[in-house]
Amino acid sequence: MKYFFLSDGWIVGRVWEFGGLWNVNAWRREPEIVQMNICILEQEEKLWLYRVEDAVLMVEVKPNPAGSSESAKTIGQVVLKRLITADQVLERLTTAQTLFNIPQ
């Protein structure tokens, strides 16, 4: 598994795999991207932990037009996120200012 943190109020757009953009017809399914129930707070910004399957190389994230985050409304841009390993997640969680475990 691979992971990434995503700001509150942002959503996943396009997804890349080894052959380029994720092709739903070729894979016969959507990529597995799951929001975990762990959130960290850094510089007053909530960052949610997401888990993705190994076939995913990179994800595009963008502000959710229906989102409530002020930073997402003012930035208005798309960002490509590189994925991190479980060890990198643990390192980030241990150095985070605040950690939340939200029951689902």
**What is the domain partition of the chain in residue ranges?**
2-101
What is the DSSP pairing of strand 33-42 with strand 45-52? antiparallel
The answer for residues whose C-beta is within 8 angstroms of residue 87's C-beta and 6 or more apart is: none
Q: pTM for this one? A: 0.84
Per-residue pLDDT of the chain in tens (104 residues, 90 and over written 9) = 999 999 998 999 999 999 999 999 999 999 999 999 999 998 888 999 999 999 999 999 999 887 555 554 555 578 888 899 999 999 999 888 888 877 76
Return the number of other C-beta atoms located less than 10 Å from residue 61's C-beta: 20
